[in-house]
Amino acid sequence: MTAAARHSQAMHFHARAGEKVRDEGLQKALQKAKPLFVGKRAKGMAALADDGLAFEMLRTACVDIRNRVLEDLDVWLEIFEARATASGAEVLWARDGDEICELVIDVARRHGVSKATKSKSMLSEEAHLNEALAAAGIRPVETDLGEYIIQLAGETPSHIIAPAVHKTIAEVEALFAREHGRPAETRTSADIPAMAREARQVLREHFLSAEMGISGANFLIAETGSAALVTNEGNGRMVTTLPKVHVVITGIEKIVPTLEDFATLMRLLPRSATGQTISNYVSLLTGTKQPGDTDGPEKTVFILVDNGRANLLGSVYQEMLRCIRCGACMNHCPVYLSLGGHAYGWVYPGPMGSVLTPLFTGVENALNLPHASTGCQQCAAVCPVGIPLPGLMQRLREAQVERRLRPRGASLALKAWAWLAGKPALYRWVMRRTARYLNWLGDANGRIPWLGQAPGWSEGRDLGAPVGKTFHELYAARKRV
Amino acid sequence: MRVALYVTCLVDLMRPAVGMASLRLLEAAGCDVVVPPGQTCCGQPAWSAGNRSLAGDLAKKAIAELEAYEYVVIPSGSCADQLRNVYPQLLADDPAWAQRAQRLAGRVFELSSFLVDVLKVCVPLADFNGSVSYHDSCKGLRGLGIKGQPRELLLKVRGLTLREMADCEECCGFGGAFSVKFAEVSTQIVERKCVAIAGVGADAVVGGDLGCLLNIEGRLRRRGDETTQVLHIAEVLAGNAE
């Protein structure tokens, strides 16, 4: 079993989903976030028209860029490695999460690091890096406000760009009061700036004292050997420029060929994520501190991670590697917006997580996720790199059937039903009987309050009882008249 | 114009009035309507479950019994999407069947889209005294691009006023087997839809897919809404009398 599979709780999706639906605090937080997620993106995309641009046109361009990279990923990675090395950085390769941890700890030891500040990195979540660092005597400090909250709470992010979206203000206040050693107050959304200032004060000390900064990268730019970082809080700049060592951890698929390609992708990334025309900070980090530079790390290390990605190249799932981690799919997913991210059980939630989790941790270790979709296709509609997420979930469902991983009872029922649907005369007879039966189940108002064959349905919904005759019966009767 | 009416398994069993209303609308528009007698189910449940071979068998059955007609009309965006968009990819590995699926796909229409885009004339057969709000079902909207057609038709109904609910394009949480497999999540989603429906306060919610309508109606009644009607667009356009 791989390290990723070991940490995954995706097999408990069903039970967790039930808990999350009943979690009032979580539901409140999600209901608050939903109109912001959806509304901001819609506004951001509509504003493209001001520049004479349109979403569909840009999406096609972004799809092309990402496809071009994936077709020759090895070549682009070699170019990146050569350029990054030439600019003074070191490029290391990690096969999986465990190797990420080993490499980071090794770099830390070589440079006498006792504290590392971190800007947001989902790869470090894949690797459970914070636990590994702590075990090695190195203190990791998350500096993205959401990640900081999550770290204080001892939780994992529930969203890839809004990691603490599942938390209410009251919960964050209780956490801050406890961790910052002060009495708790009554807080409203008007107090958010004050709370952010409070966190900033604590973090400032860490920024100045950490010997190592760890960040992710939204993109790696092959032609310049740079990491591109797209952030809003400014913590990314602190993490990547103040400490003497900067470690960038990112997936091998994050390469884009040129700065111009990066600029094109940036038209859609912030708009898809937060509706912003551009994020507050866009950093291009190249090499190490040079003579005459006033800041920057003395040592820059890129850790480029596979952790299941290379396996997708050339497979029917390759399109998933186009993902630029904007979060739009989950922000528009009715299932995600009902559960939040923790129900999904591993690092990535929502539709992209329902595809990535089985692919990275094993199809057999995430059986529910590809089915955790209403098939509404909104994720595909908003994806800035045109990933056919519903189609990929469909493929994963097929893979489960091919590998006989579906529950036996359900498979037999489906087979029996399909057999029946292939025998029209018998099918008609069964439908007539079923129509009578369901009609008989109806109460005085013509409703079925409890259907034993589908208790799940009946727990939350009535079912309108049918009139007792099928369409084909009514049609035959009409023809006779 | 010889038109095959494919009523769908759900309409056949749960609300045959939708099939009868579709029939009357098509006949009134001058179509020579045939109900192919062998029709059962398009196979979408098998497809959604990931069972390609069962779904393929049912797709071939449907293609064989429908391909002789000039048009196939279905009072469901979801099933129409299955025939139009899924069949060709489902049978892509079998050249002969793929070709037959392709040839059929272009002639399959969801009811409101057929009335507006193909027939281009539709006179409602009934009045509706009150306000309605249209719920855009997912496969119709995102699979087939159906958005204006049902509204255009509803606005022709005498006495009817159209009022848009908030987030009318958002899924109702039905999703076929999803509604049973992940019932609690499904209920949570349809609860949000019901809040939007309560917010608009229309006399009726109207849609083009019976699955969604059963889901919405079931939740509305469970949360104590006894008055909001939940109707298929065919029922509104044709009236419920037969």
Do A10 and A134 belong together in one domain? yes
Q: Is the pLDDT of residue A59 over 60?
A: yes
Q: What pLDDT is recorded for position A481?
A: 64
Distance from CA of A73 to the nearest CA of B (A): 28
Distance from CA of A414 to the nearest CA of B (A): 7
pTM for the full predicted model: 0.97
Establish if A346 belongs to a structural domain. no
CA dist list (Å): A468 to A176, B59, B94, B176: 61, 28, 40, 22
Do A420 and A290 belong together in one domain? no
**Is residue A301 within 8 Å of A92, Cβ to Cβ?**
yes
Q: Which residue has the tokens 């990420």?
A: A100
User: Which residue of chain B has the CA closest to A456?
Assistant: B183
Listed residue (A447, A452, A477) closest to A462, CA to CA:
A447
Judged by CB atoms closer than 8 Å, whether chains meet at B52 and A401 is answered as yes
User: Which residue of chain B has the CA closest to A379?
Assistant: B142
Query: pLDDT tens across B27-52, in order?
Result: 999 999 999 999 999 999 999 999 99
Burial label for A270, CB within 10 Å (0-12, 13-18, 19+), is buried
Judged by CB atoms closer than 8 Å, whether chains meet at B13 and A469 is answered as no
Dist. CA A298–CA A290, nearest whole Å: 8
Q: What pLDDT is recorded for position A243?
A: 97
Q: What would you report as the CA-atom Rg of chain A, rounded to the nearest whole angstrom? A: 26
Question: Which of A269, A287, A311 is at the close of a domain?
Answer: A311
Mean of pLDDT over chain B: 96
Establish if A356 belongs to a structural domain. no
Tell me the sheet residues that pair with B34. Answer: B4
Q: Is the pLDDT of residue A1 over 80?
A: no
Judged by CB atoms closer than 8 Å, whether chains meet at A474 and B48 is answered as no
- Count of the separate structural domains present in chain A: 2
Give chain A positions within 8 Å (CB) of B182.
Answer: 14, 17, 335, 371-372, 456
Query: pLDDT tens across A103-143, in order?
Result: 999 999 999 999 999 999 999 999 999 999 999 999 999 99
Query: pLDDT tens across A434-474, in order?
Result: 999 999 999 999 999 999 999 999 999 999 999 999 999 99
Query: pLDDT tens across B150-178, in order?
Result: 999 999 999 999 999 999 999 999 999 99
Longest dimension (CA), chain A: 96
Which two tokens mark B200? Answer: 């608009």
Establish if A77 belongs to a structural domain. yes
Residue to substitute from B8, B11, B13, B78, interface A, most A β-carbons within 10 A: B13
Q: Is the pLDDT of residue B242 over 50?
A: no
Do A298 and A436 belong together in one domain? no
User: What's the CATH code of the domain at A277?
Assistant: 3.40.50.10420
CA trace torsion A465, A416, A390, B107 (10° rounding): -80
Establish if A362 belongs to a structural domain. no
User: Which residue of chain A has the CA closest to B183?
Assistant: A456
Residue to substitute from A363, A376, A377, interface B, most B β-carbons within 10 A: A376
Do A124 and A272 belong together in one domain? yes
Establish if A355 belongs to a structural domain. no
List, as ranges, residues 104-143 from B with C-beta within 8 Å of A: 138-139, 142-143
Per-residue confidence at A4, pLDDT binned at 50, 70, 90?
Answer: confident
User: In chain B, pLDDT over 90 holds for what percent of residues?
Assistant: 97
Q: What's the rounded mean pLDDT across residues A318-325?
A: 98
Per-residue confidence at A2, pLDDT binned at 50, 70, 90?
Answer: confident
Amino acid B53 reads: S
Distance from CA of A469 to the nearest CA of B (A): 8
Do A185 and A36 belong together in one domain? yes
Question: Which of A311, A344, A362 is at the close of a domain?
Answer: A311
Establish if A117 belongs to a structural domain. yes
Give chain B positions within 8 Å (CB) of A435.
Answer: 13
Establish if A261 belongs to a structural domain. yes
Q: What pLDDT is recorded for position B68?
A: 97
- Structural domain of A145: 3-311
Do A237 and A88 belong together in one domain? yes
Q: Is the pLDDT of residue B240 over 80?
A: no
The half-sphere exposure of B181 on its side-chain side, counting CA atoms within 13 A, is 21
Query: pLDDT tens across A355-403, in order?
Result: 999 999 999 999 999 999 999 999 999 999 999 999 999 999 999 999 9
User: In chain A, pLDDT over 90 holds for what percent of residues?
Assistant: 97
Do A419 and A307 belong together in one domain? no
Question: Which of A256, A282, A311 is at the close of a domain?
Answer: A311
Mean of pLDDT over chain A: 96
Put simply, whether A409 touches B (Cβ < 8 Å) is no
User: In chain B, pLDDT over 70 holds for what percent of residues?
Assistant: 99
Do A81 and A230 belong together in one domain? yes
Which two tokens mark B75? Answer: 């009072």
